[in-house]
Structure 1
Protein backbone atom coordinates (compact mmCIF):
# COMPACT_ATOMS: atom_id res chain seq x y z
CA UNK A 1 0.00 0.00 0.00
CA UNK A 2 2.73 2.45 0.95
CA UNK A 3 4.57 1.82 -2.31
CA UNK A 4 1.46 2.44 -4.42
CA UNK A 5 0.64 5.77 -2.77
CA UNK A 6 2.59 8.76 -4.18
CA UNK A 7 5.32 10.10 -1.92
CA UNK A 8 3.65 13.51 -1.81
CA UNK A 9 0.34 12.11 -0.51
CA UNK A 10 -1.02 13.12 2.87
CA UNK A 11 -1.91 10.10 4.99
CA UNK A 12 -3.68 12.24 7.58
CA UNK A 13 -0.92 11.56 10.11
CA UNK A 14 2.57 12.92 10.53
CA UNK A 15 5.59 10.74 9.90
CA UNK A 16 6.34 10.87 13.61
CA UNK A 17 2.96 9.31 14.40
CA UNK A 18 3.24 6.70 11.65
CA UNK A 19 6.73 5.61 12.70
CA UNK A 20 5.63 5.40 16.36
CA UNK A 21 2.95 2.92 15.34
CA UNK A 22 5.12 1.00 12.90
CA UNK A 23 8.01 0.44 15.28
CA UNK A 24 5.81 -1.84 17.38
CA UNK A 25 5.87 -4.29 14.46
CA UNK A 26 9.68 -4.39 14.60
CA UNK A 27 9.53 -6.46 17.79
CA UNK A 28 6.99 -8.89 16.36
CA UNK A 29 7.95 -12.58 16.68
CA UNK A 30 6.98 -13.10 13.01
CA UNK A 31 9.89 -12.45 10.68
CA UNK A 32 7.59 -11.62 7.75
CA UNK A 33 5.99 -8.82 9.79
CA UNK A 34 9.37 -7.31 10.66
CA UNK A 35 10.49 -7.54 7.03
CA UNK A 36 7.30 -5.81 5.86
CA UNK A 37 7.85 -3.07 8.44
CA UNK A 38 11.37 -2.36 7.12
CA UNK A 39 9.93 -2.28 3.61
CA UNK A 40 7.26 0.22 4.67
CA UNK A 41 9.87 2.48 6.27
CA UNK A 42 11.93 2.36 3.09
CA UNK A 43 9.01 3.78 1.10
CA UNK A 44 8.05 6.29 3.80
CA UNK A 45 11.48 7.91 3.99
CA UNK A 46 11.27 10.66 1.39
CA UNK A 47 13.42 13.52 2.68
CA UNK A 48 16.00 14.55 5.27
CA UNK A 49 13.30 15.58 7.76
CA UNK A 50 11.70 12.14 7.80
CA UNK A 51 15.14 10.57 8.24
CA UNK A 52 15.81 12.88 11.17
CA UNK A 53 12.62 11.68 12.89
CA UNK A 54 13.53 8.09 12.06
CA UNK A 55 16.88 8.44 13.81
CA UNK A 56 15.46 10.40 16.75
CA UNK A 57 13.24 7.43 17.55
CA UNK A 58 16.37 5.21 17.50
CA UNK A 59 14.91 2.87 14.92
CA UNK A 60 18.43 2.18 13.66
CA UNK A 61 18.85 -0.17 16.64
CA UNK A 62 16.31 -2.56 15.12
CA UNK A 63 18.22 -2.55 11.82
CA UNK A 64 21.45 -3.43 13.64
CA UNK A 65 19.75 -6.24 15.52
CA UNK A 66 18.37 -7.67 12.30
CA UNK A 67 21.71 -7.56 10.48
CA UNK A 68 23.39 -9.25 13.42
CA UNK A 69 20.94 -12.17 13.33
CA UNK A 70 21.75 -15.01 10.95
CA UNK A 71 18.58 -16.52 9.49
CA UNK A 72 18.64 -20.28 8.98
CA UNK A 73 16.02 -20.50 6.22
CA UNK A 74 14.58 -17.20 5.05
CA UNK A 75 16.80 -14.11 4.91
CA UNK A 76 14.17 -11.68 3.64
CA UNK A 77 14.26 -9.60 6.82
CA UNK A 78 17.99 -8.91 6.52
CA UNK A 79 17.55 -8.11 2.83
CA UNK A 80 14.84 -5.54 3.59
CA UNK A 81 16.98 -4.05 6.38
CA UNK A 82 19.93 -3.66 4.01
CA UNK A 83 17.72 -2.11 1.33
CA UNK A 84 16.56 0.39 3.94
CA UNK A 85 20.19 1.25 4.70
CA UNK A 86 20.89 1.79 1.01
CA UNK A 87 17.87 4.10 0.84
CA UNK A 88 19.36 6.16 3.69
CA UNK A 89 22.71 6.36 1.86
CA UNK A 90 20.94 7.53 -1.28
CA UNK A 91 18.53 9.90 0.47
CA UNK A 92 20.76 11.78 2.90
CA UNK A 93 24.34 10.47 3.20
CA UNK A 94 25.44 13.40 5.37
CA UNK A 95 23.05 12.23 8.11
CA UNK A 96 24.02 8.56 7.89
CA UNK A 97 24.39 7.19 11.45
CA UNK A 98 27.73 5.73 12.54
CA UNK A 99 25.91 2.84 14.22
CA UNK A 100 24.76 1.44 10.87
CA UNK A 101 28.20 1.93 9.36
CA UNK A 102 29.81 -0.01 12.21
CA UNK A 103 27.33 -2.84 11.70
CA UNK A 104 28.13 -3.02 7.98
CA UNK A 105 31.87 -2.99 8.66
CA UNK A 106 31.54 -5.78 11.24
CA UNK A 107 29.84 -8.03 8.70
CA UNK A 108 32.38 -7.20 5.98
CA UNK A 109 35.39 -7.86 8.23
CA UNK A 110 34.12 -11.15 9.61
CA UNK A 111 36.91 -13.66 8.90
CA UNK A 112 35.17 -16.81 10.09
CA UNK A 113 35.43 -19.92 7.96
CA UNK A 114 31.71 -19.82 7.11
CA UNK A 115 31.33 -16.52 5.28
CA UNK A 116 28.13 -14.54 5.71
CA UNK A 117 26.49 -14.39 2.28
CA UNK A 118 25.36 -10.83 3.06
CA UNK A 119 28.95 -9.62 3.40
CA UNK A 120 29.34 -8.57 -0.23
CA UNK A 121 26.08 -6.57 -0.40
CA UNK A 122 27.11 -4.91 2.87
CA UNK A 123 30.54 -4.18 1.42
CA UNK A 124 28.97 -2.62 -1.68
CA UNK A 125 26.84 -0.39 0.56
CA UNK A 126 29.90 0.60 2.58
CA UNK A 127 31.75 1.53 -0.63
CA UNK A 128 28.80 3.69 -1.70
CA UNK A 129 28.92 5.39 1.68
CA UNK A 130 32.66 6.04 1.22
CA UNK A 131 31.93 7.96 -1.97
CA UNK A 132 29.00 9.88 -0.44
CA UNK A 133 30.20 10.48 3.14
CA UNK A 134 33.84 9.57 3.62
CA UNK A 135 34.01 10.98 7.16
CA UNK A 136 31.54 8.42 8.53
CA UNK A 137 32.83 5.61 6.31
CA UNK A 138 36.42 6.22 7.39
CA UNK A 139 35.43 6.23 11.06
CA UNK A 140 33.78 2.84 10.50
CA UNK A 141 36.96 1.43 8.88
CA UNK A 142 36.05 1.34 5.21
CA UNK A 143 39.68 1.21 4.00
CA UNK A 144 40.47 -1.79 6.19
CA UNK A 145 37.27 -3.55 5.08
CA UNK A 146 37.96 -2.93 1.39
CA UNK A 147 41.59 -4.12 1.53
CA UNK A 148 40.64 -7.18 3.57
CA UNK A 149 37.94 -8.21 1.11
CA UNK A 150 40.12 -7.41 -1.89
CA UNK A 151 42.47 -10.19 -0.80
CA UNK A 152 39.47 -12.52 -0.65
CA UNK A 153 38.15 -11.77 -4.14
CA UNK A 154 39.43 -13.62 -7.22
CA UNK A 155 36.94 -12.09 -9.65
CA UNK A 156 38.81 -9.44 -11.70
CA UNK A 157 35.96 -6.94 -12.17
CA UNK A 158 34.81 -7.18 -8.57
CA UNK A 159 38.38 -6.90 -7.30
CA UNK A 160 38.98 -3.81 -9.42
CA UNK A 161 35.73 -2.22 -8.23
CA UNK A 162 36.73 -2.71 -4.59
CA UNK A 163 40.24 -1.31 -4.91
CA UNK A 164 38.88 1.60 -6.98
CA UNK A 165 37.13 2.84 -3.85
CA UNK A 166 40.50 3.43 -2.17
CA UNK A 167 41.93 4.86 -5.41
CA UNK A 168 39.02 7.31 -5.55
CA UNK A 169 39.90 8.55 -2.08
CA UNK A 170 43.57 8.94 -3.04
CA UNK A 171 42.66 10.83 -6.19
CA UNK A 172 40.65 13.51 -4.36
CA UNK A 173 42.77 16.07 -2.45
CA UNK A 174 40.16 16.46 0.31
CA UNK A 175 39.71 12.70 0.81
CA UNK A 176 43.37 11.72 0.63
CA UNK A 177 43.91 12.30 4.33
CA UNK A 178 41.55 9.43 5.19
CA UNK A 179 44.00 6.87 3.75
CA UNK A 180 46.82 6.56 6.24
CA UNK A 181 50.38 6.17 5.01
CA UNK A 182 52.03 2.79 5.44
CA UNK A 183 48.63 1.26 6.10
CA UNK A 184 46.41 1.76 3.05
CA UNK A 185 47.46 0.05 -0.17
CA UNK A 186 50.57 -1.48 1.40
CA UNK A 187 48.45 -4.25 2.91
CA UNK A 188 47.89 -5.63 -0.60
CA UNK A 189 51.57 -6.65 -0.70
CA UNK A 190 51.27 -8.92 2.34
CA UNK A 191 50.71 -12.19 0.40
CA UNK A 192 53.95 -11.53 -1.52
CA UNK A 193 56.23 -10.14 1.18
CA UNK A 194 55.21 -12.40 4.07
CA UNK A 195 55.98 -16.06 3.36
CA UNK A 196 54.06 -17.04 6.49
CA UNK A 197 51.02 -15.00 5.51
CA UNK A 198 47.77 -16.48 6.75
CA UNK A 199 44.51 -14.77 5.81
CA UNK A 200 42.46 -16.68 8.34
CA UNK A 201 43.67 -18.42 11.46
CA UNK A 202 41.04 -21.13 10.99
CA UNK A 203 42.55 -22.40 7.73
CA UNK A 204 43.89 -25.95 8.23
CA UNK A 205 47.52 -26.68 7.43
CA UNK A 206 46.71 -29.00 4.52
CA UNK A 207 44.83 -26.18 2.74
CA UNK A 208 47.23 -23.36 3.63
CA UNK A 209 49.30 -23.67 0.43
CA UNK A 210 46.27 -23.40 -1.86
CA UNK A 211 44.92 -20.52 0.19
CA UNK A 212 48.19 -18.59 -0.14
CA UNK A 213 48.11 -19.05 -3.92
CA UNK A 214 44.55 -17.70 -4.04
CA UNK A 215 45.55 -14.69 -1.93
CA UNK A 216 48.48 -13.96 -4.24
CA UNK A 217 46.15 -14.15 -7.22
CA UNK A 218 43.75 -11.68 -5.57
CA UNK A 219 46.61 -9.38 -4.58
CA UNK A 220 48.00 -9.40 -8.13
CA UNK A 221 44.59 -8.35 -9.51
CA UNK A 222 44.50 -5.46 -7.04
CA UNK A 223 48.08 -4.42 -7.87
CA UNK A 224 47.29 -4.39 -11.58
CA UNK A 225 44.42 -1.96 -10.95
CA UNK A 226 46.62 0.14 -8.64
CA UNK A 227 49.56 0.46 -11.04
CA UNK A 228 47.30 1.19 -14.02
CA UNK A 229 45.75 4.19 -12.22
CA UNK A 230 47.53 7.52 -11.75
CA UNK A 231 46.58 7.91 -8.10
CA UNK A 232 47.69 4.38 -7.23
CA UNK A 233 50.91 4.56 -9.24
CA UNK A 234 51.96 7.85 -7.64
CA UNK A 235 51.08 6.51 -4.20
CA UNK A 236 53.24 3.39 -4.44
CA UNK A 237 56.11 5.43 -5.91
CA UNK A 238 56.15 7.72 -2.87
CA UNK A 239 59.67 7.39 -1.39
CA UNK A 240 58.29 7.77 2.14
CA UNK A 241 56.31 4.53 1.83
CA UNK A 242 58.95 2.38 0.07
CA UNK A 243 56.14 0.42 -1.53
CA UNK A 244 57.72 0.14 -4.98
CA UNK A 245 61.04 -0.97 -3.47
CA UNK A 246 59.27 -3.65 -1.46
CA UNK A 247 57.41 -4.78 -4.58
CA UNK A 248 60.57 -5.34 -6.62
CA UNK A 249 62.38 -6.75 -3.60
CA UNK A 250 60.05 -9.73 -3.81
CA UNK A 251 62.15 -11.07 -6.71
CA UNK A 252 65.00 -11.68 -4.29
CA UNK A 253 62.94 -14.16 -2.30
CA UNK A 254 63.81 -17.82 -2.96
CA UNK A 255 60.21 -18.80 -3.72
CA UNK A 256 59.36 -19.75 -7.29
CA UNK A 257 55.58 -19.48 -6.85
CA UNK A 258 55.77 -15.88 -5.66
CA UNK A 259 58.14 -14.80 -8.43
CA UNK A 260 56.00 -16.51 -11.06
CA UNK A 261 52.87 -14.65 -9.96
CA UNK A 262 54.81 -11.37 -9.92
CA UNK A 263 56.20 -11.90 -13.43
CA UNK A 264 52.74 -12.79 -14.78
CA UNK A 265 51.40 -9.65 -13.14
CA UNK A 266 53.92 -7.37 -14.87
CA UNK A 267 53.27 -9.04 -18.23
CA UNK A 268 49.57 -8.31 -17.67
CA UNK A 269 50.26 -4.67 -16.74
CA UNK A 270 52.30 -3.98 -19.89
CA UNK A 271 49.95 -6.06 -22.10
CA UNK A 272 52.68 -8.49 -23.15
CA UNK A 273 52.27 -12.08 -24.24
CA UNK A 274 53.18 -14.41 -21.43
CA UNK A 275 56.12 -16.68 -22.33
CA UNK A 276 56.31 -20.35 -21.54
CA UNK A 277 57.45 -20.97 -17.97
CA UNK A 278 60.60 -23.08 -18.32
CA UNK A 279 64.00 -23.59 -16.74
CA UNK A 280 65.80 -23.47 -20.11
CA UNK A 281 66.94 -20.04 -21.24
CA UNK A 282 66.73 -20.85 -24.97
CA UNK A 283 63.14 -22.06 -24.76
CA UNK A 284 62.19 -18.92 -22.84
CA UNK A 285 63.63 -16.67 -25.58
CA UNK A 286 61.91 -18.60 -28.36
CA UNK A 287 58.53 -18.39 -26.64
CA UNK A 288 58.52 -14.57 -26.55
Structure 2
Protein backbone atom coordinates (compact mmCIF):
# COMPACT_ATOMS: atom_id res chain seq x y z
CA UNK A 1 0.00 0.00 0.00
CA UNK A 2 1.15 3.52 -0.75
CA UNK A 3 1.61 6.15 1.92
CA UNK A 4 -1.27 8.59 1.90
CA UNK A 5 -0.61 12.29 1.39
CA UNK A 6 -3.27 14.71 2.58
CA UNK A 7 -4.14 17.75 0.47
CA UNK A 8 -6.44 20.47 1.81
CA UNK A 9 -7.73 22.30 -1.27
CA UNK A 10 -9.26 25.77 -0.78
CA UNK A 11 -11.04 26.27 -4.09
CA UNK A 12 -14.69 26.79 -5.05
CA UNK A 13 -14.65 25.87 -8.74
CA UNK A 14 -12.10 23.13 -9.44
CA UNK A 15 -13.16 20.92 -12.34
CA UNK A 16 -13.11 17.13 -12.21
CA UNK A 17 -10.27 17.18 -14.75
CA UNK A 18 -8.24 19.49 -12.55
CA UNK A 19 -8.84 17.31 -9.49
CA UNK A 20 -7.71 14.27 -11.50
CA UNK A 21 -4.51 16.08 -12.55
CA UNK A 22 -3.68 16.87 -8.92
CA UNK A 23 -4.32 13.26 -7.91
CA UNK A 24 -2.10 12.04 -10.74
CA UNK A 25 0.62 14.49 -9.65
CA UNK A 26 0.56 13.13 -6.10
CA UNK A 27 0.64 9.54 -7.34
CA UNK A 28 3.57 10.37 -9.62
CA UNK A 29 5.52 11.34 -6.52
CA UNK A 30 4.81 7.93 -4.98
CA UNK A 31 1.87 8.72 -2.70
CA UNK A 32 -1.85 8.00 -2.67
CA UNK A 33 -3.80 11.31 -2.63
CA UNK A 34 -6.24 12.11 0.17
CA UNK A 35 -7.93 15.34 -0.95
CA UNK A 36 -10.40 17.39 1.08
CA UNK A 37 -12.04 20.46 -0.41
CA UNK A 38 -12.77 23.69 1.46
CA UNK A 39 -15.19 25.97 -0.32
CA UNK A 40 -16.10 28.48 2.44
CA UNK A 41 -13.95 30.38 4.97
CA UNK A 42 -15.91 28.91 7.87
CA UNK A 43 -14.67 25.43 6.98
CA UNK A 44 -11.05 26.42 7.58
CA UNK A 45 -11.45 26.32 11.36
CA UNK A 46 -12.93 22.82 11.19
CA UNK A 47 -10.07 21.55 9.06
CA UNK A 48 -7.50 23.28 11.25
CA UNK A 49 -8.90 21.49 14.29
CA UNK A 50 -8.69 18.22 12.41
CA UNK A 51 -5.06 19.02 11.59
CA UNK A 52 -4.33 19.53 15.30
CA UNK A 53 -5.81 16.15 16.16
CA UNK A 54 -4.83 13.96 13.23
CA UNK A 55 -2.20 15.78 11.09
CA UNK A 56 -4.11 14.72 7.96
CA UNK A 57 -2.82 17.42 5.63
CA UNK A 58 0.67 17.73 4.20
CA UNK A 59 -0.11 20.35 1.53
CA UNK A 60 -2.53 23.29 1.27
CA UNK A 61 -3.70 24.49 -2.17
CA UNK A 62 -5.09 28.05 -2.08
CA UNK A 63 -6.81 29.72 -5.03
CA UNK A 64 -6.79 33.51 -5.50
CA UNK A 65 -10.40 33.94 -6.61
CA UNK A 66 -12.73 32.09 -4.27
CA UNK A 67 -16.07 33.63 -5.25
CA UNK A 68 -18.39 36.09 -3.48
CA UNK A 69 -15.59 38.65 -3.51
CA UNK A 70 -13.34 36.50 -1.32
CA UNK A 71 -9.65 36.48 -2.31
CA UNK A 72 -7.08 33.91 -1.38
CA UNK A 73 -4.35 36.48 -0.65
CA UNK A 74 -6.60 38.10 1.97
CA UNK A 75 -7.29 34.65 3.42
CA UNK A 76 -3.65 33.53 3.39
CA UNK A 77 -2.80 34.76 6.89
CA UNK A 78 -5.82 32.93 8.32
CA UNK A 79 -4.77 29.78 6.52
CA UNK A 80 -1.22 30.10 7.84
CA UNK A 81 -2.51 30.61 11.40
CA UNK A 82 -4.67 27.51 11.04
CA UNK A 83 -1.91 25.36 9.50
CA UNK A 84 1.27 26.62 11.15
CA UNK A 85 3.84 24.36 9.50
CA UNK A 86 2.02 22.97 6.46
CA UNK A 87 3.27 23.85 2.97
CA UNK A 88 0.94 26.29 1.15
CA UNK A 89 0.77 26.59 -2.65
CA UNK A 90 -1.00 29.79 -3.80
CA UNK A 91 -2.17 29.84 -7.41
CA UNK A 92 -4.18 31.76 -10.00
CA UNK A 93 -4.21 32.68 -13.69
CA UNK A 94 -2.14 35.76 -12.77
CA UNK A 95 1.60 35.96 -13.31
CA UNK A 96 3.58 34.34 -10.54
CA UNK A 97 5.38 37.61 -9.80
CA UNK A 98 2.03 39.27 -9.08
CA UNK A 99 1.00 36.39 -6.84
CA UNK A 100 4.23 36.71 -4.85
CA UNK A 101 3.62 40.44 -4.52
CA UNK A 102 0.14 39.78 -3.15
CA UNK A 103 1.47 37.35 -0.54
CA UNK A 104 4.32 39.70 0.39
CA UNK A 105 1.81 42.50 0.92
CA UNK A 106 0.00 40.30 3.43
CA UNK A 107 3.32 39.39 5.17
CA UNK A 108 2.58 35.67 5.08
CA UNK A 109 5.61 33.39 5.25
CA UNK A 110 6.22 29.98 3.72
CA UNK A 111 3.91 30.29 0.70
CA UNK A 112 4.81 29.06 -2.78
CA UNK A 113 3.18 30.72 -5.81
CA UNK A 114 2.42 29.26 -9.23
CA UNK A 115 0.37 29.98 -12.35
CA UNK A 116 -2.72 27.81 -12.55
CA UNK A 117 -1.51 26.18 -15.76
CA UNK A 118 1.49 24.77 -13.85
CA UNK A 119 -0.41 23.78 -10.71
CA UNK A 120 -0.24 20.01 -11.19
CA UNK A 121 3.47 19.97 -12.09
CA UNK A 122 4.30 22.24 -9.13
CA UNK A 123 2.32 19.97 -6.80
CA UNK A 124 4.38 17.02 -8.02
CA UNK A 125 7.60 18.96 -7.35
CA UNK A 126 6.55 20.01 -3.86
CA UNK A 127 5.37 16.53 -2.92
CA UNK A 128 8.75 15.24 -4.07
CA UNK A 129 10.42 17.73 -1.73
CA UNK A 130 8.12 16.70 1.13
CA UNK A 131 8.79 13.01 0.60
CA UNK A 132 12.07 12.76 2.58
CA UNK A 133 10.58 14.41 5.69
CA UNK A 134 7.49 12.19 5.50
CA UNK A 135 9.67 9.12 5.13
CA UNK A 136 11.73 10.21 8.15
CA UNK A 137 8.53 10.48 10.18
CA UNK A 138 7.52 6.97 9.16
CA UNK A 139 11.01 5.74 10.04
CA UNK A 140 10.82 7.36 13.48
CA UNK A 141 7.48 5.71 14.14
CA UNK A 142 8.91 2.39 13.02
CA UNK A 143 11.95 2.87 15.25
CA UNK A 144 9.75 3.61 18.26
CA UNK A 145 7.70 0.47 17.57
CA UNK A 146 10.89 -1.58 17.27
CA UNK A 147 12.28 -0.27 20.58
CA UNK A 148 9.04 -1.18 22.35
CA UNK A 149 9.04 -4.64 20.74
CA UNK A 150 12.65 -5.26 21.80
CA UNK A 151 11.90 -4.17 25.37
CA UNK A 152 8.88 -6.48 25.42
CA UNK A 153 11.08 -9.33 24.25
CA UNK A 154 13.56 -8.69 27.08
CA UNK A 155 10.81 -8.46 29.70
CA UNK A 156 9.22 -11.69 28.44
CA UNK A 157 12.57 -13.47 28.58
CA UNK A 158 13.21 -12.26 32.14
CA UNK A 159 9.79 -13.39 33.34
CA UNK A 160 10.14 -16.75 31.57
CA UNK A 161 13.50 -17.31 33.29
CA UNK A 162 12.11 -16.37 36.68
CA UNK A 163 9.13 -18.66 36.09
CA UNK A 164 11.41 -21.55 35.18
CA UNK A 165 13.22 -21.01 38.49
CA UNK A 166 10.07 -21.90 40.41
CA UNK A 167 7.93 -18.75 40.44
CA UNK A 168 5.72 -19.69 37.48
CA UNK A 169 2.35 -19.71 39.27
CA UNK A 170 3.07 -16.61 41.34
CA UNK A 171 4.20 -14.56 38.29
CA UNK A 172 1.27 -15.77 36.18
CA UNK A 173 -1.26 -14.74 38.83
CA UNK A 174 0.36 -11.34 39.34
CA UNK A 175 0.66 -10.64 35.60
CA UNK A 176 -2.94 -11.71 35.02
CA UNK A 177 -4.07 -9.37 37.80
CA UNK A 178 -2.18 -6.44 36.26
CA UNK A 179 -3.68 -7.03 32.82
CA UNK A 180 -7.21 -7.33 34.20
CA UNK A 181 -6.82 -4.22 36.38
CA UNK A 182 -5.51 -2.21 33.43
CA UNK A 183 -8.41 -3.41 31.26
CA UNK A 184 -10.95 -2.56 33.98
CA UNK A 185 -9.43 0.91 34.43
CA UNK A 186 -9.59 1.50 30.69
CA UNK A 187 -13.23 0.45 30.60
CA UNK A 188 -14.05 2.97 33.34
CA UNK A 189 -12.23 5.74 31.50
CA UNK A 190 -14.05 4.93 28.27
CA UNK A 191 -17.38 5.11 30.10
CA UNK A 192 -16.50 8.66 31.19
CA UNK A 193 -16.22 9.81 27.58
CA UNK A 194 -19.69 11.23 27.04
CA UNK A 195 -19.62 12.51 23.46
CA UNK A 196 -18.63 11.10 20.11
CA UNK A 197 -15.88 13.71 19.72
CA UNK A 198 -14.38 12.79 23.11
CA UNK A 199 -14.27 9.17 21.99
CA UNK A 200 -12.74 10.04 18.63
CA UNK A 201 -10.10 12.22 20.30
CA UNK A 202 -9.11 9.54 22.81
CA UNK A 203 -6.45 6.86 22.35
CA UNK A 204 -8.77 4.22 23.79
CA UNK A 205 -10.68 3.84 20.54
CA UNK A 206 -8.42 1.51 18.57
CA UNK A 207 -8.10 1.06 14.81
CA UNK A 208 -10.20 -2.10 14.62
CA UNK A 209 -13.09 -0.44 16.50
CA UNK A 210 -13.02 2.57 14.17
CA UNK A 211 -12.94 0.36 11.07
CA UNK A 212 -15.77 -1.90 12.23
CA UNK A 213 -17.97 1.03 13.27
CA UNK A 214 -17.63 2.72 9.88
CA UNK A 215 -18.13 -0.61 8.10
CA UNK A 216 -21.31 -1.45 10.02
CA UNK A 217 -22.79 2.03 9.51
CA UNK A 218 -22.02 1.89 5.79
CA UNK A 219 -23.84 -1.41 5.39
CA UNK A 220 -26.75 -0.35 7.60
CA UNK A 221 -27.36 2.91 5.77
CA UNK A 222 -26.61 1.67 2.29
CA UNK A 223 -24.47 4.68 1.43
CA UNK A 224 -23.25 3.77 -2.07
CA UNK A 225 -20.02 5.79 -1.99
CA UNK A 226 -19.07 4.70 1.51
CA UNK A 227 -20.09 1.10 0.78
CA UNK A 228 -17.77 0.99 -2.21
CA UNK A 229 -14.85 2.23 -0.11
CA UNK A 230 -15.56 -0.12 2.81
CA UNK A 231 -16.03 -3.17 0.58
CA UNK A 232 -12.56 -2.55 -0.82
CA UNK A 233 -11.07 -1.94 2.63
CA UNK A 234 -12.78 -5.00 4.09
CA UNK A 235 -10.73 -7.18 1.75
CA UNK A 236 -7.35 -5.95 2.96
CA UNK A 237 -7.56 -3.65 5.99
CA UNK A 238 -8.00 -6.23 8.81
CA UNK A 239 -5.44 -8.71 7.49
CA UNK A 240 -2.96 -6.56 5.56
CA UNK A 241 -2.98 -3.44 7.74
CA UNK A 242 -4.16 -4.12 11.30
CA UNK A 243 -2.76 -7.64 11.63
CA UNK A 244 0.57 -6.71 10.04
CA UNK A 245 0.78 -3.56 12.16
CA UNK A 246 0.27 -5.62 15.31
CA UNK A 247 2.76 -8.25 14.18
CA UNK A 248 5.40 -5.64 13.35
CA UNK A 249 4.83 -3.72 16.57
CA UNK A 250 5.49 -6.84 18.65
CA UNK A 251 7.86 -8.66 16.32
CA UNK A 252 10.79 -10.41 17.93
CA UNK A 253 14.13 -9.30 16.50
CA UNK A 254 16.10 -12.44 15.67
CA UNK A 255 19.44 -10.76 14.98
CA UNK A 256 19.89 -9.20 18.41
CA UNK A 257 22.98 -10.30 20.31
TM norm structure 2: 0.27
Structure with larger RCO (C-alpha < 8 A, sep 6+): 2
